[in-house]
């Protein structure tokens, strides 16, 4: 793939884009005021806040879509607001869901000496490990953080062995362990029977060929290459089918955003 040349922007193009942006911005403000005027200039303070919120949300929606055309200053602002807001929201959630109930409440708000002692005994090790994790911020003492994350790595490794054997090996083997036979119902026609047998054979052959494709330590001879190639075809058919299946689901999400813009921002009666 050849690298694309760094986009050089002509002054003309920049002027046109700036003009379009100003026009769109003005149109957005006018449309927002016209469509949300009842709430914006109403007496209910809550409605006013929600109306401003909807206008901001609509602006962010349109700005985010503008990235499909190209990067632009408004997108850069929206992107940084998005990251910042998400960071702040995540910090507050960590405080509310982890730090406060697990550290602050048991230690700072212990109702009795015994409760404080129990909390200290149980929580001192993880708190120490948490503090050790912060040593990562230092170049010299960063190795101390290994004590903290090595526990998680170990736990993950142990659980992976178990979970993978259960869900992806045994359950798949159980699903694969089926006889290849004609239609189960006695009155199934010749075509249905042939279809059932062919289908089951296809799954069997496909599974074996794709598994073969993943062999690393055996040189693929002429036969092996053929099997491996068949495996690739199965892979591609599968990826294509999966692609098509997901594509249709994503279209409904676009419709969802359009509904927000039309019915909540522009308040078009449904």
Partner 1 sequence: MAFTETNTTTPRRRPVMRRARAWGFAAAGVMLLIAGAPSRGQQAESLPASAPAAAPASAPASAPVPLEIPAPESVKAYDCPSDDGSAIIVEWAKPKIETPGAVYVVDVAAAKEDFAAGAFKTVQVKPGPEALKSANQKFFGVSPANAGLYYARICPSSLYPPVPAGESRTESLTRHAKAGHLSAEELQRALAASDADAKWLARLMADLTERDTTDAKARTRRINAATYYLRLSVSPDGGRARAYVSDKDGQPLVLSAAALPNQFKWYKLNIAIFSVAFCAVVAAFIWIARRNPNLYIRRIAGLDAVDEGIGRATEMGRPVYFVHGIAGVESMATMASLTILGRVARKAAEYDTRVRVMNWDPMVTAVSQEVVQQAYTEAGRPDAYNPDDVLFISTDNFAYATAVSGLVVRERPAAIFMLGTFFAESLFLAETGASTGAIQISGTDSYSQLPFLITTCDYTLIGEELFAASAYLSREPKMLGSLRGQDVGKAFLMVTIVVITAVLSVAAARGVSLDWLTNLFKTF
Partner 2 sequence: MWYKRTIPLILVFAIGVAAFVQEFVPAPWAGRFRENITLWFQIIGSFALFIGLYSLLHMHWTRIRRQTPGWAYSIFVFLAAGGMIAVGLYNEGKGPIIDVAQGTRTWLDRGYDYLIKPCTATIYSSMAFFMASAAFRTFRARNTAAVLMLVAALVVMFGRVPVSEVLGGWLGDPEMFSRITDVLMKYPNLAAKRAIMMGISLGAIAQSLRILLGVERSYMGGGD
Q: Does 185 bind partner 1 (CB under 8 A)?
A: no
- Contact with partner 1 (CB under 8 A) among 28, 100, 212, 230: 212
What single string gives the DSSP state of each residue in 76-144?
HHHHHHHHHHHHHHHHHHHIIIIIIIIIIHHHHT-SSHHHHHHHHHHHHHHHHHHHHHHGGGSTTTGGG
Q: Which of 34, 49, 176, 268 binds partner 1 (CB under 8 A)?
A: 176
CB of 94 to partner 1, least distance (A): 9
Which position has the token pair 């708190």?
Answer: 127
Q: Does 223 bind partner 1 (CB under 8 A)?
A: no
Q: Which residues contact 28 (CB under 8 A, 6 or more apart)?
A: 58, 59, 62
235 part of the interface to partner 2, by CB under 8 A: yes
* Of 118, 91, 95, residue with least CA distance to 106: 118
Restricting to residues 177-196, name those near partner 2 by CB under 8 A: none
Give the footprint of partner 1 on residues 136-175 (CB under 8 A).
136, 139, 142-143, 145-146, 149, 152-153, 155-157, 159-162, 165-167, 169-171, 173-174
Give residues 57-96 in contact with partner 2 (rule: CB under 8 A): 57-58, 60-61, 64-65, 67-68, 76-92, 94-96
Using CB under 8 A, pick the residue from 13, 242, 258, 262 that binds partner 1.
Answer: 242
Q: What is the DSSP letter of 262?
A: I
């Amino acid at each position: 793939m050849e690298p694309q040349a760094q986009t050089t922007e002509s002054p003309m193009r920049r002027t046109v884009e700036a003009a379009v942006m100003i026009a769109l911005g003005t149109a957005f403000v006018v449309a927002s005021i016209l469509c949300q005027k009842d709430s914006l200039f109403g007496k209910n303070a809550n409605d006013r806040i929600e109306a401003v919120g909807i206008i901001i949300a609509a602006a962010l929606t349109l700005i985010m879509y503008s990235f499909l055309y190209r990067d632009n200053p408004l997108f850069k602002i929206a992107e940084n607001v998005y990251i910042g807001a998400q960071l702040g929201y995540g910090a507050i959630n960590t405080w509310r869901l982890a730090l406060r109930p697990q550290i602050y409440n048991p230690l700072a708000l212990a109702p009795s000496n015994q409760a404080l002692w129990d909390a200290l005994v149980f929580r001192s090790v993880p708190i120490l490990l948490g503090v050790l994790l912060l040593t990562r911020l230092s170049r010299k003492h960063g190795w101390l953080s290994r004590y903290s994350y090595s526990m998680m790595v170990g736990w993950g490794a142990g659980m992976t062995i178990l979970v993978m054997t259960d869900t992806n090996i045994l359950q798949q083997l159980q699903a694969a362990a089926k006889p290849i036979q004609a239609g189960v119902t006695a009155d199934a026609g010749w075509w249905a029977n042939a279809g059932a047998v062919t289908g089951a054979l296809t799954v069997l052959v496909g599974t074996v060929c794709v598994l073969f494709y993943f062999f690393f330590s055996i040189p693929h001879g002429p036969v092996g290459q053929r099997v491996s190639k068949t495996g690739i075809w199965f892979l591609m058919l599968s990826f294509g089918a999966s692609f098509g299946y997901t594509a249709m689901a994503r279209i409904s999400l676009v419709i969802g955003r359009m509904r927000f813009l039309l019915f909540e921002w522009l308040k078009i009666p449904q």
